[in-house]
Structure 1
Amino acid sequence: MVPTRELAKQVADNFESLSDNLQVMSIYGGVPYEKQERELSRGVDVVVGTPGRIKDLAEKKTLKLHELKHVVLDEVDRMLDMGFADIVEEVLKFAYDLNDESAKNPQTLLFSATTPDWVYKTAKKYMTDNYKVVDMVGRRVNRTAETVQHLAIKCNYSDRAATVGDVLQFYSGEHGRAMIFAPTKRDADELTVSSSIRQECHVLHGDIPQDKREMVLAGFREGKYKVLITTDVAARGLDIPEVDLVIQLEPPKDVDSYIHRSGRTGRAGRSGACVCFYKPRALADLRIVEQKAGIKFKRIGAPTLNDLVTAAAKDAAKSLESVDEGVLEKFKEAATGILEEKDAVDQLARALAVISGMKNVEERSLLTSAKGCRTYYFKTNMEIRGPGYVFMSLERRLGTSVREGVREMRFTTDKMGCVFDVSSNFIHYIEERWTDGKYDSLERATELPDIIEPSKESYDRGQGGRGFSRGGFGGGGMNRNRMDRRGGGGGGGFGRKNGNFRSGNGGKRPYGNGSFSNDNRNKRRRFND
C-alpha cells in the first residue's frame, strides 16, 4: 500500500521490471472498478494500490487478502498518520488475525525516509516481537540529503509569483528541471497560469483527472516540459530524475513534508537546490524547520538584475546551439542585411535578450523581494547601537529627504553595518551624491550578509524593539553625547509619513526631520547636514 496513485503506478512498474513471470497490478481510484475486478479474477502475484480502493475491493471480496505472504507499507509514517490510519487498519484486518497468536500472519515490511517514534509503536501491532530495523538514514542531525543546498527567501504574497519566476530563471533556467510545491490546489492553479513563469509548466494535484495526472507526470519525467507545480501528491517516493531545483512556496507545518519535498532534488549523487519562500511573519515557522530537520537555511534575496541577465544570456546561448541547419539557412540573408547596417555585437546582444524573453527587467529588494527597490549595504568601523547613527551619516551626505526613500533596515550580526532598501526614485540621487567617508561606506548589495531578523513579537508590535521596517523604528532613545542608543521605551516608530523619529513612549510625540527624542525627557536636538 502506498499513499498516492502516482506512487502506486511507479512501484508497480518497478515490480514488472524485475521479472517477466510476475503478474503485477496497480489499483487506485479514478479508474472504473470493472476493469480492475476482471484483472483480479484472472489472478495476480503482486497488488500495489492506495488504501481507499484496496479497502473497497476487499469489502466486495473481489480482492482476497487472507492468504497474503507479504504486506508492505511504503511511506509508513504517512500511511499510519491520521489521514490514512483508520482505512489502513481496516484493510489490514483482512490479512491479519490479531486475536490468535499462533496464526501465521504475513511478513510485514515498512518503509519510509522519516519514521517518528510513534510509527514504531503503532507498527508493533502488526509485527512480531523480534522485528528488525534496517536504518539507511541513521540518527544524524541533518535529516535531509547532503547534496541539497537549502535557501530561504523572505517575500510577501503580492510579490511571490514574480519572484518565483526570477528564481526559476536563475537557478533552473530554460534547460533545467524544477518542481514547485504549493500549499493548496488553488495556489498551484494560480501559479500555473501566472505570466511570471516563463517556462512551460503543468499542474498536478488531487482535482486533476487520473488520466491527465498520468500524462502530466510522464511528460515531466520525459523532459517534455521543465516545470511541475504540485501539491504533496508528488512529494513522496516518486523517482523523477535530474530535478535541479525544488521551490516550496511556504514552510510546511509538518517538517517531514519539507524533508520529502526537498528530497526530489539532489538525487543519485547530483547536487540540487531547495528554495523555501516565507512571509515576514512566518520566520518562526522557518526556524522550526531548521531545528527539526537539522539544517541551516542560507537567507538570500531575490536574484539581482545582474544575476538574471547573466542566467538569461547563458540560456539563450544554449538555445542557439539547438537551431537546425536547414532553418539557419533561411535566416542568413536577413542576418546579413542587419549586420550591414548595425553593430554586430549590439544586434547579437539584442537577439539573445529576445530569445531569453528578457526585453525589460525590474530590480527587486534582496530583503523582501519587493519590486522597484534596490538593497544597499552600509558599513562602518564601530558597533552600531541603533538606526540613528546610520541616518545621521546618510543625511550628512545626501540631505534629510533621503529618509523618505529608506525602507526595511536590518543590522548585520556583527553590528558593524546594516542593509536597507531604497525605492527606485531615490536610487539615481544616491548614486550621484554619495561618497564614502573615513569611517562609513555605502555600496549596492549583491547578496545578503548575515543579518539580525526581527522576532515575531516585533512584527506584532509594528516593528518595535530591534526590528526596523516601514512600520517604524522603536526600541530606545538617543544618547545626546555619543550618538548611542540607550534604553528608551520600545514600540516607538520612525514615521513613514513625515520621515520623523518618534519618541520611545509608543511613538506619540512627533519631531521634525532629523530630530531624535531624548531618553525620558521632552527635549530635542537637530542634526544639520
Structure 2
Amino acid sequence: MPGKLLWGDIMELEAPLEESESQRKERQKSDRRKSRHHSESEERTETRENGVTDDLDAPKPKKAKMREKLNGDSKEGLRFSDEFSPSHKSRRKDLPNGDVDEYEKRSKHVSSSESSHKSSDKAEETLTREQKEGAFSNFSISEETIKLLKGRGVTYLFPIQVKTFGPVYEGKDLIAQARTGTGKTFSFAIPLIERLQRNQETIKKSRSPKVLVLAPTRELANQVAKDFKDITRKLSVACFYGGTSYQSQINQIRNGIDILVGTPGRIKDHLQSGRLDLSKLRHVVLDEVDQMLDLGFAEQVEDIIHESYKTDSEDNPQTLLFSATCPQWVYKVAKKYMKSRYEQVDLVGKMTQKAATTVEHLAIQCHWSQRPAVIGDVLQVYSGSEGRAIIFCETKKNVTEMAMNPHIKQNAQCLHGDIAQSQREITLKGFREGSFKVLVATNVAARGLDIPEVDLVIQSSPPQDVESYIHRSGRTGRAGRTGICVCFYQPRERGQLRYVEQKAGITFKRVGVPSTMDLVKSKSMDAIRSLASVSYAAVDFFRPSAQRLIEEKGAVDALAAALAHISGASSFEPRSLITSDKGFVTMALESPEEIQDVSCAWKELNRKLSSNAVSHVTRMCLLKGNMGVCFDVPTSESERLQAEWHDSDWILSVPAKLPEIEEYYDGNTSSNPRQRSGWSGGRSGRSGRSGGRSGGRSGRQSRQGSRSGSRQDGRRRSGNRNRSRSGGHKRNFD
C-alpha cells in the first residue's frame, strides 16, 4: 500500500458527494462497527464514499507467526498468510456495507475451522500407529542417544526395532528376521549401547571388547561400525577387516575396545596371534546370520567365539542373530550358540512375500549378447542421468566388462573382491555421495549395505539362490521409499525365474525393452535439465548461429534437433519387445473373440497376407486371456505387413509396450503350421511344438520331449530329470 489515508483526507474526498439522511446514518453506523473491529483485531480499514471497504496490510495470522518462528523462515509465514488474505479481500469488496460484520464473523469461523481441521490432520499424521509404538518415550533410551538418533534423521523406532528392543536390552538371546531396508542394524545397536552405557565400568586401557559383531563383508562391517559410532560418544567402537593396516588395529586393541565389529578372517588373525582377547565378551551379534553360518564362514565363526562359549551353560554371552532370510537350517545350526530359552522375532514369518514390499519386480528376456545395450536403455528410462542404480553381475570379469561397456552412458564404477580395500571404500563413499550414479558389483554389495536413494537395481541374470535375489533387490526401496528391480533372463532360465517367484513370494512383471518413445521422453527430460546449467553470458555467443538455424529449419525443428544431439539420441534402432533382439519389431494381432491357440492366428495371417510376408513372422506368443497373439517381424517388413492387412475383424498394430502374454507358451509355439518349423520360423526345427521332422528329440526344450524342469505350474524337478533329452545342462536351485 502506498501510505495511510487520514480520516480528514477521506472526508475531503467525500465532501462533494451528496448523500441522503439514511445513507449518512448507515455510514456512521458502519464507521462505529469498523472502529470496534479495528480495536479488537488490529485490522486497519478505511471507508470510501460508496460504502466499500479497502484493506490495508493485514497482520499475519497467529498460526503464520508461530510457523515462521518455528521454521525460522519468513517466507513460510508469508505463504501461509497469503493463502487467506487475497481471497479474504476480494470477498469483502463484493459485500455491501451492512454485511461486512456478518462476513467477518463467518470468516473468523471458517478460518478457525480450517485451522482446527489442519491441526487435527497434522496430529493424525504424526500419530500413526507405527510412530506411537516407536516413540522414544516408550523405551529406556537416554536423552543423549535420542539427540544423536535425531541427528541421523531417526525420530522413532521402526517395527523391527520396537519388537527387538526389549529382549536385547534385557540380555535375552534372539533370532530376528525382517525384510531388507527395515532398520535391522539399529535393532541391536541401540539397546546394546544403552545397556553398556547404563552399566559402564571405569574406562581402562587395553580393556577387552564387551560386544562382538561379525559381518560377512568388509563393506557391511564398515557400515555397521559407523552406525554404532553415530549414536554413542562414550564407548569405543573399532572395525577390523582385511585389506587394512594391522598396526592401526593393534593400536586400537592397546587403547581398549568396547564394541568390536569385523569380518571373521581378520578377527581370527588377531586371535591366533594372541593380540585380541575375547574372553570378556557379553554380547555376540551375527549379522546376515544365514551367510555367517554357511559353509564358507561357519568354521571361522566357531574358531572365534568358542573361547567365550561353554557347553550347556547359561552364562554364555548374549547371542543375537539377524538377517532378512533365515532358512530352517539356520535355526538348527544356531541352537548350539543359543541358551535354552531364546526369543524369536519374525516380521516375515509365513507371509508369502519375503522380498521388500516397496520394490516392483520386472523381468526382461534378453540374449546375453544384447544385454549391455538393453541395460543401457533400462538405465536411461528407469533412473535417467540423475538417478542412482546398482547392476549386479555374477563374476568379477562380468562386472569389469559391464562397467566399461560404451552402452552404459552414465559414469559407472566397479566393486568386487579383487579391488583393493582402500579403493572399495572410496568407491562406496563416492556412490553414497552421488559422485557417480551407477555401481556395478558382485554380491559384495548385495547384503546389508544401506545406500540412500537407490532408484534401480538391475540383475544381469537370475541368481543361483533365492536369498541372493532378495538381498540384491533389497538395495532399493529402503526406509519406505519405492524402487524398481529388473532381472534379465534367457529362455533357458525361465524355470529359474519361476523358482525365485515361488520361493520369494513375488510375481515378476514380464516387460519388453524400453520403447523408442520411452527413450525419447527420458533423454529429452535430461537434455532440458542440462540447458538450465548454461549461463546467459554463454547464450549470447550462440544467438547469431541460433538465428540462422531457425531461419533454415524453423524454430521447432531446430530446437528438436539440438535436443536430440545433446541427448545423444541421433538415431534409434528398434528392438523386439519379446526377445530384445535388434532389428525386429513386435506386432500384436488382436482377435474379436477368444481363441484356443496360436494356430487360429496363423490361419488368419495366411488368409490375409502373402506367403512371402507370412514367412517373416516369428516368435509368436499367445496374449493373456487368449484374445490374440503377438509376434516379431524384421524391421524392414513391418510396414509391408501393415499395408497388406485389410478387411479383417482381427486388429493388427505395433504396441509401444509388450502386451501381457500367456507364460504357458513361452514363445515355443511360434511356428507356422504350414511350414512345420520351430521357434524361429525357419527350417531348424528348434523348440517345435510337436517336433516335425527336425524338431523332435534333438530340439531344445521341445514341448513333448523336454525334461528341463519347466513345468507349467513352476514346480522344481530334481536329480537327473533336470537334464533334457538333448543333453542340456543340469540345473541346481538348492
The answer to whether 1:15 aligns with 2:228 is yes
The answer to whether 1:2 aligns with 2:215 is yes
Equivalent residues of 2:677, 2:683 under 8 A apart: no
**How many Å separate the matches in 2 of 1:336 and 1:124?**
78
* Structure 1 residue 310: Cα displacement: 1.2
Equivalent residue, structure 2, for 1:77? 290
Equivalent residue, structure 2, for 1:487? none
- Return the structure number with greater strand share: 1
Equivalent residues of 2:619, 2:681 under 8 A apart: no
My pick for the range that moved more, 1-10 or 115-124, is 115-124
* Structure 1 residue 404: Cα displacement: 2.8
- Give the fraction of aligned pairs with identical amino acids, expressed as a percent: 49
**How many Å separate the matches in 1 of 2:693 and 2:544?**
72
Equivalent residues of 2:642, 2:652 under 8 A apart: no
Picking from 490, 494, 515, the partner of 1:283 is 494
* Structure 1 residue 436: Cα displacement: 5.3
Aligned CA distance change for structure 1 residues 95 and 326 (closer, same or farther; 3 Å): farther
Picking from 647, 669, 672, the partner of 1:468 is 669
Equivalent residue, structure 2, for 1:521? none
Runs of at least 5 residues in structure 2 that lack an aligned partner in the other structure: 1-213, 696-734
Equivalent residues of 1:492, 1:505 under 8 A apart: no
Equivalent residue, structure 1, for 2:651? 441
The answer to whether 1:367 aligns with 2:584 is no
RMSD: 2.6
Aligned CA distance change for structure 1 residues 497 and 152 (closer, same or farther; 3 Å): closer
**Secondary structure of 1:418's partner?**
strand
Equivalent residues of 2:618, 2:680 under 8 A apart: no
Equivalent residue, structure 2, for 1:335? 546
Equivalent residue, structure 2, for 1:53? 266
My pick for the range that moved more, 409-418 or 190-199, is 409-418
Equivalent residues of 2:358, 2:483 under 8 A apart: yes
Equivalent residue, structure 1, for 2:663? 453
- Return the structure number with greater helix share: 2
Equivalent residues of 2:584, 2:633 under 8 A apart: yes
**How many Å separate the matches in 2 of 1:503 and 1:454?**
15
Equivalent residue, structure 2, for 1:508? 693
Alpha-carbon displacement from aligned partner over 1:413-433 (angstroms, at most 9, x marks no partner):
322211100111212212332
Q: Which amino acid aligns with 1:507?
A: G
Aligned CA distance change for structure 1 residues 20 and 441 (closer, same or farther; 3 Å): same
**Secondary structure of 1:94's partner?**
helix
Equivalent residues of 2:677, 2:684 under 8 A apart: no
* Structure 1 residue 190: Cα displacement: 1.0
* Structure 1 residue 134: Cα displacement: 2.2
Equivalent residue, structure 2, for 1:139? 350
Which is greater in Rg?
Answer: 2
More RCO (CA 8 Å, sep 6+): 1
Equivalent residue, structure 1, for 2:321? 110
Equivalent residues of 1:248, 1:274 under 8 A apart: yes
**Secondary structure of 1:367's partner?**
coil
**How many Å separate the matches in 2 of 1:64 and 1:504?**
67
Picking from 374, 377, 380, the partner of 1:163 is 374
**How many Å separate the matches in 1 of 2:479 and 2:687?**
57
* Structure 1 residue 343: Cα displacement: 1.4
Alignment of 1:215-364 (within 5 A): 215-364=426-575
**How many Å separate the matches in 2 of 1:92 and 1:322?**
57
**Secondary structure of 2:345's partner?**
coil
Alpha-carbon displacement from aligned partner over 1:105-128 (angstroms, at most 9, x marks no partner):
211111111111111111111111
Runs of at least 5 residues in structure 1 that lack an aligned partner in the other structure: 479-490, 511-529
Equivalent residues of 2:684, 2:694 under 8 A apart: no
**How many Å separate the matches in 2 of 1:501 and 1:39?**
65
State the TM-score, normalizing by the size of structure 1: 0.86
Q: Which amino acid aligns with 2:693?
A: K
Q: Which amino acid aligns with 1:468?
A: T
The answer to whether 1:399 aligns with 2:599 is no
**How many Å separate the matches in 1 of 2:383 and 2:684?**
41
The answer to whether 1:24 aligns with 2:225 is no
Structure 1 segments of 4+ aligned residues over 6 angstroms from their partners = 498-505
Q: Which amino acid aligns with 1:403?
A: V
**Secondary structure of 2:514's partner?**
coil
**Secondary structure of 2:488's partner?**
strand
Aligned CA distance change for structure 1 residues 344 and 49 (closer, same or farther; 3 Å): same
Equivalent residue, structure 1, for 2:252? 39
**How many Å separate the matches in 2 of 1:374 and 1:275?**
22
Equivalent residues of 1:408, 1:421 under 8 A apart: yes
Equivalent residues of 2:677, 2:685 under 8 A apart: no
Alpha-carbon displacement from aligned partner over 1:329-373 (angstroms, at most 9, x marks no partner):
444454344334431211211121122111111111110010111
**How many Å separate the matches in 2 of 1:500 and 1:386?**
19
The answer to whether 1:101 aligns with 2:347 is no
Alpha-carbon displacement from aligned partner over 1:236-280 (angstroms, at most 9, x marks no partner):
111101111111111112101111111111112221111110111
Equivalent residues of 2:669, 2:689 under 8 A apart: no
Aligned CA distance change for structure 1 residues 268 and 494 (closer, same or farther; 3 Å): closer
**Secondary structure of 1:133's partner?**
strand
Aligned CA distance change for structure 1 residues 51 and 156 (closer, same or farther; 3 Å): same
Picking from 363, 366, 384, the partner of 2:595 is 384
Q: Which amino acid aligns with 1:176?
A: G
My pick for the range that moved more, 152-161 or 127-136, is 127-136
Equivalent residue, structure 2, for 1:520? none
* Structure 1 residue 397: Cα displacement: 3.1
**Secondary structure of 1:408's partner?**
strand
Equivalenced residues, count = 482
Picking from 175, 180, 198, the partner of 2:386 is 175
**Secondary structure of 1:419's partner?**
strand
